[in-house]
Amino acid sequence: MNWKMVGRLIWKDWYLNRVAILSALTGGLAMLGVVAALHGSLIPLILGTIVVVGILIGVGQVVMMSTVFERKQQTLPFVMSLPISFREYTTAKVAGGLLIYLVLWTALVAGMVATILLAHGLPHGLIPFVLIMSVELLMSTCLVTAMSITTESQGWTIAATQAGVLSLNGLGWWFTSLPGIRGTLGGATVQWSSTATVLLTAELAAIALMIAITFLVQARKKDFI
């Protein structure tokens, strides 16, 4: 594995997306600060969460679309002419895209949890649901990552993004209908149920499966140019 070349490709993606990441991070944390300043009112929390989720979805699409543009702008042939294998290229794209996204995702998820814990009046029982839905959002981003890398198609990448948004809404509604989740949402303390553990485990397994499928599909490609 040519880790030096993988590192350079990852750094390239970081550099190209630095403005979007810093802008999204600043905007998301500022929104959470406003929510906290409003003394934990539930409606501002809901609106703030919608804005943060929108930021995460938007940045995820921007980062992953850079892979598609490599094909459209004819930079992919140059990249594949470098001393790099398909496995190293795929590692750079998966690791680079997800690491960039995880910096923003981790900061904003931690900000949401901190807002719930520190703002007066918000039920701490929301935290398990927030974490489950945050990992669901990460799972949706992994779907977009897999689709953009394996298909290199703008249409399929946008379709994957829309599917992720719809699944986020649908699964969020379904999760809140489960007794192990619904019964803890309004609690004054964090209550982690077995239902929450099963859901989180399933999401993490799905993420691992999508990454594995991405490498498998890339390994079967005969033409990267």
For 11-35, the pLDDT digits (tens) are 777 777 777 778 877 877 777 777 7
For 62-103, the pLDDT digits (tens) are 666 666 666 565 566 556 556 666 777 777 777 777 887 888
The answer as to whether 53 is a domain residue is yes
Could you tell me what percent of the chain has a pLDDT over 70?
78
In order of 25, 66, 153, 219, the CA distances from 70 in angstroms are: 25, 6, 10, 19
Count of domains forming the chain:
1
Could you tell me what percent of the chain has a pLDDT over 90?
7
Question: How many angstroms separate the CA atoms of 31 and 51, rounded?
Answer: 8
Q: Are the CB atoms for 9 and 92 separated by under 8 Å?
A: yes
The answer as to whether 225 is a domain residue is no
| pLDDT, averaged across the chain | 78
For 30-62, the pLDDT digits (tens) are 777 777 676 556 666 677 777 777 777 777 766
Q: Are the CB atoms for 131 and 113 separated by under 8 Å?
A: yes
Q: Are the CB atoms for 21 and 103 separated by under 8 Å?
A: yes
The answer as to whether 140 is a domain residue is yes
The answer as to whether 213 is a domain residue is yes
Q: What pLDDT score does 198 carry?
A: 93
Q: How many residues does the chain have?
A: 225
Q: Are the CB atoms for 157 and 141 separated by under 8 Å?
A: no
The answer as to whether 89 is a domain residue is yes
The answer as to whether 67 is a domain residue is yes
* pLDDT for 136 beyond 80: yes
Contact partners, residue 101, CB within 8 Å, separation at least 6: 56, 59, 60, 63, 138, 141
Q: What pLDDT score does 63 carry?
A: 66
The answer as to whether 19 is a domain residue is yes
Q: What pLDDT score does 177 carry?
A: 86
Residue span of the structural domain in which 71 resides: 3-220
